[in-house]
Chains A and B, each alone.
Chain A
Amino acid sequence: MLKTTPLNAVHREAGARMVDFGGWDMPVHYGSQVEEHHAVRRDAGVFDVSHMRVVDFEGAGVREFLRFALANDVAKLTQPGKALYSCLLNDSGGVIDDLIAYHFRDDFFRLVVNAGTAEGDIQWLHSLNALAGHGVSIRPREDLAMVAVQGPNAREKFWRAFDETKPATEGLGLFQAARLGDDIMVARTGYTGEDGFEVVFPAGDAESIWRRVVEQGVRPCGLGARDTLRLEAGMNLYGQDMDAAVSPLDAGLAWTVDLKAPRPFFGRKALEARGQQHDFLGLVLVDKGGVLRAHQLVLADGGEGEVTSGTFSPTLGVSIALARLPRGTAPGATVRVVVRDKELAARVVKPPFVRNGQSLIGV
Chain B
Amino acid sequence: MNIPKELKYTASHEWARVEPDGTVSIGITDHAQEQLGDIVFVEAPKAGRKVAAGEAVGVVESVKAASDIYAPVAGEIVAGNDALADSPEQVNADAYGSWIYRIKPGNAADLDKLLDAAAYEKVASE
Q: CB within 8 Å of B: which residues of A?
A: 28-29, 32-34, 224, 228, 288-291, 293, 311-312, 314, 319, 340
Q: Using a CB-CB cutoff of 8 Å, which residues 76-115 of chain B contact chain A?
A: 85
Q: Which residues of A contact B38 (CB under 8 A)?
A: 32-34, 314
Considering the complex of A and B, which 10 residue pairs feature the smallest CB-CB distances, nearest first? A312-B40, A34-B38, A291-B61, A312-B63, A33-B37, A33-B63, A291-B41, A33-B38, A224-B64, A290-B41
Asked if B66 is an interface residue, CB under 8 A from chain A, the answer is yes
Q: Find out whether the CB atom of A293 lies under 8 angstroms from the CB atom of B40.
A: no
Q: Find out whether the CB atom of A224 lies under 8 angstroms from the CB atom of B63.
A: yes
Q: Find out whether the CB atom of A293 lies under 8 angstroms from the CB atom of B66.
A: yes
Asked if B18 is an interface residue, CB under 8 A from chain A, the answer is no
Asked whether A289 and B63 contact (CB < 8 A) given A32-B38, A33-B37, A34-B38, the answer is no
Question: Across the two chains, which residue of chain A brings its CB closest to B37?
Answer: A33
Known: A33-B63, A314-B63. 12 other contacts (CB 8 A): A32-B38, A33-B37, A224-B63, A228-B63, A290-B41, A291-B40, A291-B41, A311-B63, A312-B40, A312-B41, A312-B61, A314-B38
B82 to chain A minimum Cβ distance, whole angstroms, is 11
B120 to chain A minimum Cβ distance, whole angstroms, is 20
Q: Which residues of A contact B37 (CB under 8 A)?
A: 29, 32-34, 224
Question: Residue A33 contacts which of B41, B43, B64 (CB distance < 8 angstroms)?
Answer: B64
Asked if B59 is an interface residue, CB under 8 A from chain A, the answer is yes
Q: CB within 8 Å of A: which residues of B?
A: 37-38, 40-41, 43, 59, 61, 63-64, 66, 85
Chain B at the A interface: SS class? strand
Q: Which residues of A contact B59 (CB under 8 A)?
A: 290, 340
Q: Which residues of A contact B85 (CB under 8 A)?
A: 288
Q: Which residues of A contact B40 (CB under 8 A)?
A: 291, 312, 319
Q: State the CA gap A32–B62 with chains docked (Å).
A: 11
Q: Which residues of A contact B66 (CB under 8 A)?
A: 290-291, 293
Q: Which residues of A contact B61 (CB under 8 A)?
A: 290-291, 312
Q: State the CA gap A312–B66 with chains docked (Å).
A: 11
Q: State the CA gap A32–B61 with chains docked (Å).
A: 15
Q: Which residues of B contact A314 (CB under 8 A)?
A: 38, 63
Q: State the CA gap A60–B22 with chains docked (Å).
A: 82
Q: Which residues of B contact A224 (CB under 8 A)?
A: 37, 63-64
Q: Which residues of B contact A33 (CB under 8 A)?
A: 37-38, 63-64
A232 to chain B minimum Cβ distance, whole angstroms, is 12
Asked whether A290 and B43 contact (CB < 8 A) given A29-B37, A32-B37, the answer is yes
B39 to chain A minimum Cβ distance, whole angstroms, is 10
Q: State the CA gap A311–B41 with chains docked (Å).
A: 11
Q: State the CA gap A228–B62 with chains docked (Å).
A: 12
Question: Across the two chains, which residue of chain A brings its CB closest to B40?
Answer: A312
Q: Find out whether the CB atom of B43 lies under 8 angstroms from the CB atom of A34.
A: no
Q: State the CA gap A288–B63 with chains docked (Å).
A: 15
8 A-B pairs, CB-CB below 8 angstroms?
A32-B38, A33-B38, A224-B37, A290-B59, A291-B41, A291-B66, A312-B40, A312-B61
Q: Which residues of A contact B43 (CB under 8 A)?
A: 289-290
Q: Which residues of B contact A291 (CB under 8 A)?
A: 40-41, 61, 66
A291 to chain B minimum Cβ distance, whole angstroms, is 5
Q: Which residues of A contact B64 (CB under 8 A)?
A: 28, 33, 224
